[in-house]
Amino acid sequence: MTSRRTFLKSSILSSSLLLPGVVKKGANLLSRQKQSEKTYKPLIVSTWNHGLEANEKAWEVLHQTGSILDAVEEGVKVTEADPASRTVGLYGFPDREGIVTLDASIMKGNGDCGSVCFVRQVKHPITLARRVMEKTPHVMLAGEGARQFAIAEGFPLEEEVLHPESEKDYKEWLKEAEYRPVINIENHDTIGMVGLDAYGNLAGSCTTSGLAFKMHGRVGDSPIIGAGLYVDNEAGAATATGMGETIIKICGSFLVVELMRNGRSPQEACEEAIARLIDKNRDNIENMQAGFIAINKDGEYGGYAVHPGFNYAVKHEGGNELEDAKSSFKE
Ligand code: GLY
C-alpha cells in the first residue's frame, strides 16, 4: 500500500516538474519585459506577520533618512526587540543547552555586506552585522569573536535570561529532548526584509534566533550571504525563511537573484528556487517549510514556499498588506 509519506513524495516530485515558475527552455529570458504593471518604488517586503510592523518602521525611516539601508536595518530591529517574538532576537527559543544564539545579515545593492552568527547577548545582531560590514575588512564574525567585537563597539550586553514563555517551552521540550522541526511556528520564523528606494537602490536584512532547540553551535541560512539574503542593484533582492539547511544547500537567495538577472520575474524566480530546493531535499521535505520573497529593480515582487502557511508583508505607497504565499504542497 502507498504510505502517506510515499504518496506525498511522489506527488510533490511530479508536481515540481510542472511548477508554473519553471521557465521553459529556449525562452528569451534576457529580453524579458516587465510582466506586471504593478510596480512600486519605493517598495518594502518582509517575511511573516511580524513584517507588517517592521515594514511601517522601515517606511518611516526611509522617508526620514532617505537611506534604504537604514530602512531595512531599523525595520527588522522592531522584531528583534519584540518580546512576543519566539524566533527572532533574544526573547527567542533557546538551543538544546538552553542558550539563545542569534544570526543576522545585511546587504547593499552594490555588494557590500556583513553578518554575525552564533552570537550571544546582543539585542540587535542586525546592527552588529552592519558594523561588521562598515568597520571591518570582513564579511562575517562568529560566536565569541562577534560578541567581543560588539563589546569593542560599545554594544550593551544583555543578561542571559530566557523569556518566561521560551523557558516554559524549553522545559517541556527537555522532557523528551527530541528535535522535530515545526512547520510555520505560530506563523513566524526569521524576519527577512528587502527594500527598494525611489532611485532603484536595493538593500536587505535578515535576522533570527534560528531553529528552536537546535544543537549548540548550529548556524542557519540567515547570516550566510547568498543563502538567507542576497542583493544586487543590477537584478534584485531576495531573502529566505524556514529550515535553513534546505536553503543553504541551494544557495537559495543567490539563486533567486540570479534567476531574476536571467529574466524571471520575482514570482517566477521564487517558484523555480523552491522547485530546486524540493529537488535537493527530497528525503524529508514533507516536514520542512522554506520560503522566499523577492523584489526586482523595477519594483515587482513575489513570494513562494514549500508548504501552505507562509505569508509576507508588502509595503508601498498604496498600503501595507499581508499576502499569503502560494506553495508547492497544497493544503
Ligand atoms: N531560517 C532560519 C534558520 O534556519 O535558522
Dihedrals phi, psi of 79, to nearest 5 degrees:
-70, -40
Range of the domain at 169: 3-327
Tell me if 87 CB under 6 Å of ligand 1.
Answer: no
pLDDT at 181 over 90: no
DSSP letter at 204?
A: E
Of ligand 1's listed atoms, the one at least distance from the Cα of 244 is: 4
- The C-alpha torsion from 251 through 252 and 257 to 260, rounded to 10°, is 120
Tell me if 309 CB under 6 Å of ligand 1.
Answer: no
Of ligand 1's listed atoms, the one at least distance from the Cα of 219 is: 5
pTM of the model: 0.90
Look at residue 237 in the predicted model and tell me its pLDDT. 99
Check the CA dihedral 279-280-286-288 and report its sign: negative
Count CB neighbours of 99 within 10 A.
Answer: 13
Structural domain tally of the chain? 1
> Residues 212-250: pLDDT tens digits?
999 999 999 999 999 999 999 999 999 999 999 999 999
190 is catalytic: yes
Q: Distance between CA atoms of 126 and 228, rounded to whole angstroms?
A: 13
pLDDT at 301 over 90: yes
Tell me if 222 CB under 6 Å of ligand 1.
Answer: yes
Arithmetic mean of pLDDT over the chain: 90
pLDDT at 29 over 60: no
pLDDT at 265 over 70: yes
Look at residue 187 in the predicted model and tell me its pLDDT. 63
Check the CA dihedral 128-129-134-135 and report its sign: positive
Looking at the DSSP bridge assignments, the partners of residue 293 are 239, 303
Q: Distance between CA atoms of 310 and 325, rounded to whole angstroms?
A: 6
Tell me if 209 CB under 6 Å of ligand 1.
Answer: no
Of ligand 1's listed atoms, the one at least distance from the Cα of 103 is: 5
Cell 555586506 locates to 113
Report the separation in Å between the CA atom of 263 and the middle of ligand 1, taken as the mean of its atom positions: 28
Look at residue 182 in the predicted model and tell me its pLDDT. 73
Over residues 285-300, mean pLDDT: 95
Question: Which residue in 79, 101, 127, 190 is the catalytic one?
Answer: 190
Is the peptide bond preceding residue 42 cis, with omega within 30 degrees of 0? yes
Query: Which residue, judged by its Cα, is nearest atom 4 of ligand 1?
Result: 244
Tell me if 208 CB under 6 Å of ligand 1.
Answer: yes
Of ligand 1's listed atoms, the one at least distance from the Cα of 228 is: 1
Report the separation in Å between the CA atom of 103 and the middle of ligand 1, taken as the mean of its atom positions: 8
| 36 confidence band (pLDDT: 50, 70, 90) | low
Whichever domain contains 14, its CATH number is: 3.60.20.30
Tell me if 252 CB under 6 Å of ligand 1.
Answer: no
What interhelical angle do 143-152 and 125-135 show, nearest 10? 80
